[in-house]
């Protein structure tokens, strides 16, 4: 009986130890802090295009306790934490914090949005500014939205031949004009002109023969 009790106690101790190890591992996973290098290999500089740092921020999920690392040359750049208004208008009249040394490592201890700019010249207007959204520690990154499928545009029906409009019957032929009908049945006066000319010519020839016959007879009688 005593040996059985000891075995149960040993089994309970092993189980309890394993549970402690699992709790420690889960706590370590939940409480591990990430450190992000702003701009990756480019660092904190004038970006190649204005939305460079905006795109970089959207590609990361920041939680409370994480760190941001700004690498820059203090001879040419600086770093200021500002309000949202100054971030949007690229001003730094009342900065919340100023960082002149590099690398500037900033821990994200406040949930919400944090804004950074470079106040030198017009670098902020050129895109050297960063907005970071900080989430709860236990909050997970939402899945990226799947790209929406765009249906191809419907093809317009091909135009009918001879330029006929769609949905309209071809125009009916117009009735023939009176001039066309006269010309078609042979009653057109212009079509009779050659016949009249022939008739006059024939009539003129016959008239000439009747006048010449007496003259020829008279000539024979005189001679």
Question: For 184-188, what is the mean pLDDT?
Answer: 46
Question: Which tens digits make up the pLDDT trace of 75-92?
Answer: 999 999 999 999 999 999
Strand order in the sheet with 67-70: 35-37, 67-70, 104-107
> Is residue 199 scored above 50 in pLDDT?
no
pTM flag (> 0.75): no
| Preceding omega of 103 cis (within 30 degrees of 0) | yes
Which SS3 state, helix, strand or coil, does residue 58 take? helix
CA-to-CA distance for 25 and 17, rounded, in angstroms?
12
Res. 207 pLDDT band, cuts 50 70 90? very low
Beta strands in 46-184 (DSSP E): 62-63, 67-70, 79-82, 97-99, 104-107, 112-117, 129-135
Instruction: Kindly report which listed range (47-56, 135-144, 211-220) carries the lowest average pLDDT score.
Output: 211-220
Domain limits, the chain: 35-135
62 to each of 131, 140, 145, 148, how far by Cα in Å?
A: 11, 10, 18, 26
Question: Which tens digits make up the pLDDT trace of 10-40?
Answer: 655 545 555 554 544 444 445 578 999 999 9
- Please give the class, per CATH, of domain 35-135: mainly beta
Q: Count Cβ atoms within 10 A of the Cβ of residue 77 and give its class: 0-12 exposed, 13-18 middle, 19 or more buried.
A: buried
What is the C-alpha radius of gyration for the chain, rounded to an integer number of angstroms? Answer: 53
CA-to-CA distance for 68 and 121, rounded, in angstroms?
24
Of the chain, the percentage scoring pLDDT greater than 90 comes to 46
CA-to-CA distance for 110 and 134, rounded, in angstroms?
7
Res. 48 pLDDT band, cuts 50 70 90? very high
CA-to-CA distance for 218 and 220, rounded, in angstroms?
6
Task: List the structure tokens of 168.
Answer: 């309209």
* Phi, psi (degrees; rounded to nearest 5) at 44: -100, 90
Across-strand partners of 81? 97, 116
> Is residue 160 scored above 80 in pLDDT?
no
Question: Which tens digits make up the pLDDT trace of 108-122?
Answer: 999 999 999 999 999
């Amino acid at each position: 009986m005593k040996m059985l009790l000891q075995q149960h106690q040993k089994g309970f101790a092993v189980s309890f130890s394993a549970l402690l190890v699992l709790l420690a591992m889960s706590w370590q996973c939940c409480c591990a802090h990430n450190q992000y290098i702003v701009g990756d290999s480019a660092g904190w500089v004038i970006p190649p295009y204005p939305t460079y740092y905006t795109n970089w921020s959207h590609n990361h999920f920041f939680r409370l306790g994480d760190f941001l690392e700004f690498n820059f040359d203090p001879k040419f750049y600086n770093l200021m934490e500002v309000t949202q208004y100054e971030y949007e208008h690229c001003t730094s009249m009342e900065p919340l914090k100023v960082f002149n040394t590099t690398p500037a490592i900033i821990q994200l201890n406040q949930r919400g949005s944090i804004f950074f700019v470079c106040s030198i010249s017009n670098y902020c207007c050129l895109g050297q500014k960063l907005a970071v959204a900080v989430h709860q520690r236990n909050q997970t990154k939402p899945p990226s939205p799947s790209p929406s499928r765009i249906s191809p545009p419907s093809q317009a029906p091909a135009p009918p031949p001879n330029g006929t409009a769609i949905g309209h019957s071809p125009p009916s032929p117009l009735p023939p004009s009176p001039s066309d009908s006269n010309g078609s049945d042979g009653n057109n006066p212009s079509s009779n002109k050659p016949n009249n000319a022939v008739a006059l010519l024939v009539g003129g020839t016959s008239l000439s023969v009747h006048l010449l016959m007496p003259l020829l007879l008279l000539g024979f009688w005189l001679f």
